[in-house]
């Protein structure tokens, strides 16, 4: 039974490659909130420090050639305070296929008011698609679609993102695969219409302060790619003293996840997620493991936000300023950012 199931998976992957490639073409992250730059390039530069993350996902343990995803990203602000840059590397293995990509991004930030900002970003790079036919048992050994056993192609790729945020909440939008580049394997007779399909992602979250030691943080991400069904990830975590957290994720039509993590001296972050598969694949898999490591470097900019004092207080200072003449001083209250 297991052998038949694995053959079915391989057949499905071949159909995906040699016909119109549709459905989910992007890696899945259970810890998407901590790997947020990989999801939305507009995150780059929204903090006042440099952040580097590495994520390792081992999906469907127990299934041969199950998906494996490795990512490495780094992003931070520029000294002019209004822009940020970032870079993202990843490799995604699924059965006989492998996708390896690299992108760099530029973010521009707009200050809407004293507490609210909007970040806009565009990233571009290159993607390699590779198919290893040595892992496929062909019905016709003389199939001319696969000539040399290994097929690969290089494609340009781009992504657009928006991120509206304050100190407590955020909402974002990302559109990967903007160019919808057509797949053309240069060592194959394949002439199908496969291409990178448009994806649309919307995410948001809010941080509730329960008391001085405890925070509660729900968030969600909605993923859409026609004609695939809409997929929703709903996450919630409890944070103690900004040092430890426990949480969970429910991903529709896929899995439920358990999250645990720790911040060490505000510079190192370690996160772990375990997925309990909710589909029939659970009959063949013991689950999915995901590890995340984050490093925060020293602040690049100091960017306080100023809030004008209330009107009644302003009037008192005006009277005092009139008495003191030109020695009066205008006061502001500084709200510290992260």
Helix-strand-coil percent breakdown of the chain, rounded to 5? 15, 50, 35
| Cβ neighbourhood burial of 212 (10 Å; 0-12, 13-18, 19+) | exposed
Query: Sorting pLDDT into bands at 50, 70 and 90, what band is 183?
Result: confident
Residue 325 in tokens: 């003449």
> Contact at 8 Å (CB) between 231 and 252?
yes
pLDDT at 4: 38
Query: Which domains occur in the chain, in start order?
Result: 2-303 (2.40.160.40), 304-338 (no CATH)
Instruction: Say if residue 322's pLDDT is above 90.
Output: no
> Contact at 8 Å (CB) between 262 and 269?
yes
> Contact at 8 Å (CB) between 106 and 143?
no
pLDDT at 332: 41
Query: Sorting pLDDT into bands at 50, 70 and 90, what band is 195?
Result: confident
- Residues of the chain with pLDDT > 70, as a percent, come to 75
Stretch 117-142: mean pLDDT, rounded? 82
Instruction: Say if residue 203's pLDDT is above 80.
Output: yes
Query: Sorting pLDDT into bands at 50, 70 and 90, what band is 301?
Result: low
Query: Sorting pLDDT into bands at 50, 70 and 90, what band is 80?
Result: confident
Looking at the whole model, is its pTM more than 0.85? no
Q: Report which of residues 49 and 310 the model is more confident about.
A: 49
Instruction: Say if residue 225's pLDDT is above 70.
Output: yes
Average pLDDT, the chain: 81
Q: What is the C-alpha to C-alpha distance for residues 92 and 164, in angstroms, rounded to an integer?
A: 29
Q: What is the C-alpha to C-alpha distance for residues 15 and 74, in angstroms, rounded to an integer?
A: 35
Picking from 6-15, 85-94, 214-223, which range would have the lowest pLDDT averaged per residue?
6-15
Residue 167 in tokens: 């100190």
Instruction: Say if residue 334's pLDDT is above 70.
Output: no
Picking from 6-20, 92-106, 189-203, which range would have the lowest pLDDT averaged per residue?
6-20
Number of Cβ within 10 Å of residue 95's Cβ equals: 22
Instruction: Give the CA distances from residue 171 to residues 42, 59, 165, 186, 333, in Å, rounded to whole numbers and listed in that order.
Output: 11, 28, 7, 41, 27
Stretch 17-35: mean pLDDT, rounded? 67
pLDDT at 148: 59
Per residue in 37-73, pLDDT tens?
A: 999 999 998 998 999 999 999 999 999 889 999 999 9
Residue 70 in tokens: 């490795």
Residue 234 in tokens: 């709903």
pLDDT at 7: 40
Range with top average pLDDT, 16-25, 35-44, 145-154, 325-334: 35-44
């Amino acid at each position: 039974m297991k052998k038949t199931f694995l053959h079915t998976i391989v057949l499905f992957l071949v159909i995906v490659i040699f016909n119109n490639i549709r459905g989910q073409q992007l890696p899945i992250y259970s810890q998407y909130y901590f790997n947020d730059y990989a999801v939305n390039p507009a995150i780059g530069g929204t903090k006042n420090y440099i952040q580097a993350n590495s994520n390792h996902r081992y999906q469907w343990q127990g299934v041969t050639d199950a998906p494996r995803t490795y990512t490495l990203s780094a992003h931070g602000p520029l000294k002019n305070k209004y822009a940020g840059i970032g870079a993202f590397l990843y490799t995604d293995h699924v059965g006989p296929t492998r996708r390896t990509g690299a992108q760099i991004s530029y973010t521009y930030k707009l200050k809407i008011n004293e507490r609210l900002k909007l970040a806009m970003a565009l990233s571009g790079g290159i993607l390699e698609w590779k198919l290893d036919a040595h892992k496929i048992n062909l019905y016709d050994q003389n199939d001319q679609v696969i000539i040399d056993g290994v097929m690969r192609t290089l494609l340009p790729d781009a992504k657009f993102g928006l991120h509206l945020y304050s100190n407590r909440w955020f909402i974002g939008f990302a559109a990967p695969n903007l160019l919808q580049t057509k797949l053309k394997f240069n060592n194959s007779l394949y002439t199908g219409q496969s291409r990178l399909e448009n994806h649309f992602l919307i995410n948001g979250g809010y941080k509730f302060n329960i008391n001085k030691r405890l925070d509660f943080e729900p968030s969600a991400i909605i993923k859409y790619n026609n004609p695939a069904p809409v997929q929703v990830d709903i996450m919630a975590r409890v944070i103690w003293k900004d040092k430890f957290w426990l949480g969970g994720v429910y991903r529709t039509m896929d899995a439920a996840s358990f999250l645990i993590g720790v911040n060490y001296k505000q510079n190192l972050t370690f996160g772990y997620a375990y997925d309990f598969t909710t589909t029939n694949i659970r009959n063949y898999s013991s689950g999915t493991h995901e590890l995340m490591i984050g490093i925060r470097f020293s602040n690049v900019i100091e960017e306080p936000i100023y809030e004008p004092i209330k009107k009644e207080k302003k009037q008192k200072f005006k009277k005092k300023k009139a008495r003191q003449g030109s020695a009066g001083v205008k006061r502001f209250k500084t709200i510290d950012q992260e």
